[in-house]
Structure 1
Amino acid sequence: MDDEERSEHYAQPIPVEPSRFAQYRVRESATDIADVALTFMDVSDLNAAPDPVASILADVAAAWRRATTPLAASAAVTVAVRSRSTWGADPGILRAAPRYSPWKKAIVHHTVTTNSYSDAAAQLRSIYYYHSVTRRWGDIGYTYLVDKWGNVWQGRAGGEDSVGAHASGWNTGTMGVSTLGDFSSARPTATMTDSVAKLIAAKLGARRIQPMGADTFTHHEQTRTGAWVPVTSKVPNVLGHRDAVDKVGARGAATACPGTRLYALLETVRRTAQALISGTTWAAAPAVKPVPAAAGEQLGVKWVSDKTPWGLGAVPVTVPLTIKNTGQLPWIQGLVNVAYHWYDDRGKLAVWDGARTPLPADIAPGKEARLEVRVLPPPRTGRFKLVYDLVWEGQWWFSSLDEETLVRRVTRR
């Protein structure tokens, strides 16, 4: 985590066993290092929370209630949020006065801290100190945090529509939802992602914002001179931190957040949140086995042929497309669909969730399918990249499992 304006570089908080001394090493660098500092944060104080044992038991009990309660749809989704006092936020290190701007987007993060915690409140206190004091942000950067048991905690002070410090150039008008842990290679618990979806449904739904949508939004990007300029575009209403571009000409933010494994599940989070708002739930396909954890090794696609036009107007077109199932699992009609993504000529996402085209029938391994794919044009004129993809509804985009996509250059007239 870096602060380029101050030429400062920070490591994430590292949990350690009780110790008396700390040792560090600075490896050879191409630039001069003016100062190195270690910050120690003792978050184990039993008085920091009302009753740490009771708090842990409450975490487990809440997780059990969620696990044993059906995911019911509701026109008005509500979610229980644990207050700052519950996790022991020290008012003495709160230095930032709340600012407000209506939330229009949700940006998903991970804290890049340990996954083996037993006390979520202690983890929050360490992040709070790190953000407020060490990073000098004056408060915790995230609006909300979700632990592995699915508990939702208030992060930044100020409540609804408060402006956080979680995504450079995107803080105004967004809420930052961070998962507690590191999901670069570890998969988040289903309880955690369900709670993230429910939180997003509650907050965006109350503002009549569709989690599956992509509405116009103005953020800011930094030029090479250091100036910040406004950029208005259509971006997903729920996006990962890595999608929040903050440098002019960049293809993405300079981060892998929220981690590869969580990022692959964002589409599921969007759909779950949308289902909660819409008052619908996913209908299970009959006699279909669930996608196994090793789905990436058993799914495969070959894009055989297509007749994508080089230019598009303002009306949808139908594109003949032939694909082949090169994996080990059958593609079930109604569960696997053809879709697409639009990127502009700078590589910025314009439309993520393109229109679905269903399969004509179940497609067995080794078999081909011929489809007429309905493609809606991108939202504005210019040069674009059209990326055809397959989606296993409620589970995976094939591209998230490193499966092949079909890319075509198209000009919108």
Structure 2
Amino acid sequence: MNTRTRKFDAILLLFALLAIAYPVAGSGLFQPPETRVADMTFAGPNFEGAEAQGIMAQVEGLQLQDPSLTSSYTSPVIEAPIPFNALFPQWIADVPAGTGMSIAVRTGTENGRWSDWYPVEENHDWTRPEDPDVVGTMITVSAEDIVHRYVQYSIGFSRYDGQATPLLKELHFTFIDSTAGPTMGEMVAQQQALDASQPRTFAAEGVAPNKFAKPAVISRQVWCTDPDCNYSNGLEYEPVTHLILHHTVSSNSSSDWPAVVRAIWKFHTYSRGWGDIGYNYLADRNGVIYEGHLGGDDVIGTHASAANRGSMALSLIGTFTLPDDSPPGIQPPQPMLEAAANLFAWKADQKGINVYDAGRLPNMTWGLPKLMGHRDVYGGTNTECPGEQAYRLLPWLRDAVAQRLGYQSPYVYIDETSSNFKRSNNSWHEGPAGCGNNGHSYYTWSVTDPNASTNWGEWTLAVPQEGVYKLEVYAPYCTTGRSETDGARYIVTHANGSSTVTISHDDNIGLWMSLGEFPLRADGSGKLRLTDLTSTDDGRGVWFDAVRLRRTDGALPPQMPTITPEQPTADLWLTNRTIAFNWLVGNGGGVERTWLQVATDPGFTNMVVDLNWAGLVQTYTHTFTQDFAELYWRVVVKTATTQVVASPSKFAIDTTGPVTAVHGYYILGWNGKQVVAWGGQDNLSGIANYKIEYRAADEANWTTWLASTAATTAMFTPPNPALVYEFRSQGVDHLGNAEPAHAVADLNTLQAKPLPHAIMLPVIMK
């Protein structure tokens, strides 16, 4: 049997199990009375007992009394107008920046048993930007009590010295009693009766037999007890392209989840004036799914502002923030998660939604993930919905949907949190509240000055097999207070070299952007690099998030040979004219001919060696007939389709010593001092030092006077002024090549030249 057909058959099995778990109270279709609602408002001086403890009530509302900086107020016990199982706080307040206001509520029974104090936070799902008031956390009665009769609230204010006081203008409570409805067992019986009278088929679901069947859903006809549930006016439709996960920010324990759904419907429909429950579907902790907004497929709900049109919303009943958050939350139970995966899989299959992709909605100019949390609509700010513990499970939920549909993504994804991404050790920003693909992203600010560029990131394009791949990058829609760069400059290193692609993050924010198709090896040599340097703007967002690759049908081009010169190394001076040339050729299997070329200029217009061989050659020894102060060598290889020329490498040959001589002997007329002068030349590596020797004219052996000197003059004192002395020099170059010792003297003291004037001394001493 087709697995998708079995999913459709599982609907009846789920209802059968629910019928066992929730016994039916009676026979026939149960018709309960309507849900009841009542309101209480506290404003101005009528805040109960608010004159105490540094807080005062005035016409404007409840506020701190000078000079108090912090204070709290707890109201008297208040009897509600009706017994209630759900309480919805709402308020209007001015809370200046840097000040604080907190609200807590507890509820009690007729016999005086009280709940814990429950911190009330803003419910962003239920507060629209145009609303004058703020909707707080929905408070539900504990499972064992069913309904409560009393309420008590506590207000806390805080500010710094010199600041204005927070002002609570109005506090409003909506009490709802939605307990007068069918039990779960009764609803299951009614749903079974409805399904039996209207058999559910693939045709009725509007899907083909090979599609994923819609999971079991408790219809509005069953759970809603109010005649207004069946209105038909004002419905709008838009094909669904996106799936959004919410949470109701309500109690995580209840004995009557349908009553919670009815309470939400009553509050959304009447108290908020939305005309219906905002979500398309809701799911309780047992995995039971409830139909939400009336209208069926593609109906537009009220749950995510501009993202309402084109989306389907599922709200998890409860609070799924972190345990230490206010209010504290839990992790969504597994039956609830399985229900979410089944519902989203059905809709994704029906509408062809790729839950790993992103796209634009009709009323939005930026892109959003196809399966997302409510907070993603606002770029990670404005709301924590669906709670951190649910939001962290979105990657699991996407995988679970794909597994149910047998979908295997053709893409290889490389996250910026993986080992295949590295970045500079500089200051980085991260997307707010987990904003980014799979709950994370990095960003920095663009610069146009190369000297100010500090941030870079590099992805290793690890592909499972070599081939041509389409490369896409993602820049998430995240609220940072600034726009994005128009000049993100990506450098792709691939099998044919490197390519630079510049793309606008601002024009494509929230979308996957194609950089093109590139040949890649499976050895990790492919790289993608992005920096903060642009040529378009300063101080705008540059995003470093996931990248993905999809292999195309393009054939990988032949691998280009690479040439690495090894010996002689660059700028090397050699003292031997017989030289062993060595080079390494990578990817050399297709080389048909190899050239070795040596020239006296980098343009190779005056070549002294030009040899070639058939096939691949990687070494050759050559003997030169002379020394060279400057030579360049390179290797050229040719394949059937291309020719590769290596970059030239410079070297030189110097095998001979310098030519030097002692050329002057001077006597200074004013003091009788004697000066010896010498010099020479070496047109290759240059003279490093001189050795100067002397001897008496009648002696055979030479005496070293200066063993190693870079000077070219020195004062000489004859050992015996009555004798004639001879001099000779020997030069050594920078490679250690020594000049042959002179067989005869260069000069003797009989050749002395008198210098009667001191002004000539600097000429000698140069």
Q: Tell me the TM-score normalised to structure 2 length.
A: 0.35
After superposition, the Cα gap between the structure-2 partners of 1:320 and 1:273, relative to the gap in structure 1 and judged at 3 Å, is closer
Q: Distance in 1 between matches of 2:513 and 2:188?
A: 39
Q: CA deviation at 1:85?
A: 2.3
1:341–1:388 CA contact under 8 A, matched in 2: yes
Distance 2:272 2:306 in 1: 17
Corresponding residue number in structure 1 for 2:388: 260
CA-to-aligned-CA distance 1:57-77 (integer Å, 9 cap, x gap): 999xxxxxxxxxxxxxx9411
**Cα deviation, residue 305, structure 1:** 4.5
DSSP-derived class of the 1:122 partner: helix
Structure 1 counterpart of 2:171: 36
Residue deviations 1:269-296 (CA, integer Å, cap 9, x gap): 1122123234569xxxxxxxxxxxxxxx
Deviates more, 1:342-351 or 1:126-135: 342-351
CA distance in 2 between partners of 1:255 and 1:179 (Å): 15
Q: Which residue of 2 aligns with 1:87?
A: 223
The residue that corresponds to 1:147 in the other structure is: 284
Partner of 1:199, secondary structure, is helix
Given that 1:93 and 1:132 are in contact with CA atoms closer than 8 Å, whether structure 2 keeps it comes out as: no
Q: How does 1:192-207 map to 2 (within 5 A)?
A: 192-207=336-351
Aligned match for 1:160, one of 297, 319, 337: 297
Match of 1:214 in 2: 358
Greater RCO (CA < 8 Å, at least 6 residues apart) = 1
Distance between the aligned counterparts of 2:129 and 2:177, measured in 1? Answer: 28
Q: Which residue of 2 aligns with 1:350?
A: 510
Structure-1 residue corresponding to 2:376: 243
Identify which of 264, 278, 296 aligns with 1:127.
264
Determine if the alignment matches structure 1 residue 179 to structure 2 residue 316. Answer: yes
The AA in structure 2 aligned to 1:254 is N
Aligned to 2:619: none
Q: Distance in 1 between matches of 2:298 and 2:391?
A: 24
Structure 2 gap ranges (5+): 1-122, 159-164, 192-208, 323-329, 410-416, 425-445, 448-456, 465-471, 485-505, 516-522, 531-535, 548-766
Q: 1:32 to 1:202 in 2, by over 3 A?
A: same
Secondary structure of the corresponding residue to residue 351 of structure 2: coil
Give per-residue Cα distances to partners, 1:136-190, cap 9 Å, x unaligned: 2111100001111222110011111111011111111111111111111211122
User: 1:218, 1:89 → 2: CA distance?
Assistant: 34
1:386 aligned partner, one-letter code:
F
Distance in 1 between residues matched to 2:286 and 2:296, nearest whole Å: 23
Query: For residues 6 and 147 of structure 1, do their structure 2 counterparts lie closer, same or farther at Cα, with a shift above 3 Å needed?
Result: closer
Change (3 A) 1:101 1:20: same
Tell me, in whole angstroms, the C-alpha distance in 1 between the residues paired with 2:514 and 2:397.
17
Q: Which residue, 235, 248, 252 being the options, matches 1:98?
A: 235
Relative distance call for 1:372 and 1:8 in structure 2 (3 A) is farther
CA distance, structure 2, for counterparts of residue 97 and residue 108 of structure 1: 25
Are 1:212 and 1:353, in contact at CA under 8 Å, matched by a contact in 2? no
In the TM superposition, what is the alpha-carbon distance from 1:340 to its structure 2 partner? Answer: 8.1
Shifted more, 86-95 versus 105-114: the winner is 86-95
Give the 3-state SS of the residue equivalent to 1:242 in structure 2.
helix
Cα distance, 1:13 vs. partner?
1.8
| Corresponding position of 1:15 | 140
Q: Which structure has the greater CA radius of gyration?
A: 2
The alignment partner of 2:268 has SS state of helix
Q: What does residue 652 of structure 2 align with?
A: none
Residues 284 and 316 in structure 2, CA contact (< 8 A), matched pair in contact too:
yes
Cα displacement string for residues 334-373 of structure 1 (whole angstroms, at most 9, x for unaligned residues): xxxxx98533664796258999xxxxxxxxxxxxxx9556
Cα deviations by residue, 1:234-266 (Å, 9 ceiling, x for unpaired): 321111000002xxxxx4341000010110011
Residue 107 of structure 1 deviates from its aligned partner by 0.8
CA distance in 2, matches of 1:3, 1:38: 18
Number of aligned residue pairs: give it: 302
Q: Report the aligned-residue RMSD.
A: 4.2
* C-alpha separation in 1, matches of 2:527 and 2:258: 49
Task: State the partner residue of 2:367.
Answer: 234
Structure 1 window deviating more from structure 2 (128-137 vs 171-180): it is 128-137
SS across alignment from 1:41: strand
Alpha-carbon distance in structure 1 between the residues aligned to 2:510 and 2:290: 32
- Describe the shift of the 1:178–1:354 C-alpha distance in structure 2 as closer, same or farther (beyond 3 A): farther
Are 2:340 and 1:190 aligned? no
The 1-side partners of 2:170 and 2:277 are apart by 24
Give the Å deviation of 1:3: 3.9
CA contact (8 A) 1:183 1:258 kept: yes
> Which residue identity does 1:384 align to in structure 2?
V
Q: Which ranges of structure 1 fall in alignment gaps of 5 or more residues?
A: 60-73, 220-230, 246-250, 282-299, 312-317, 323-332, 334-338, 356-369, 390-413
The residue type equivalent to 2:211 in the other structure is: A
In 2, distance between residues paired with 1:304 and 1:102? 38
- Aligned-pair identity in percent equals 28
Q: Kindly state the Cα deviation for residue 11 of structure 1 after the two structures are TM-superposed.
A: 1.3
Residues 320, 372 of structure 1: 8 Å contact kept: no
* C-alpha deviation, 1:131, in angstroms: 1.1
Task: Determine which structure has the larger strand proportion and give its number.
Answer: 2
Tell me the amino acid that sits aligned with residue 234 of structure 1. G
Structure 2 match to 1:271: 399
- Counterpart of 1:363 in structure 2 is none
Would you say the 8 A contact 2:459–2:528 is kept in 1? no
For the residues of structure 1 that align with 2:401 and 2:295, how far apart are their CA atoms?
Answer: 24
Displacement of 1:93 after TM fit?
Answer: 6.7
TM-score, normalised with respect to structure 1: 0.62
Secondary structure of residue in 2 paired with 1:37: strand
Query: Structure 1 residues 40, 206: CA separation in 2 closer, same or farther (over 3 Å shift)?
Result: same
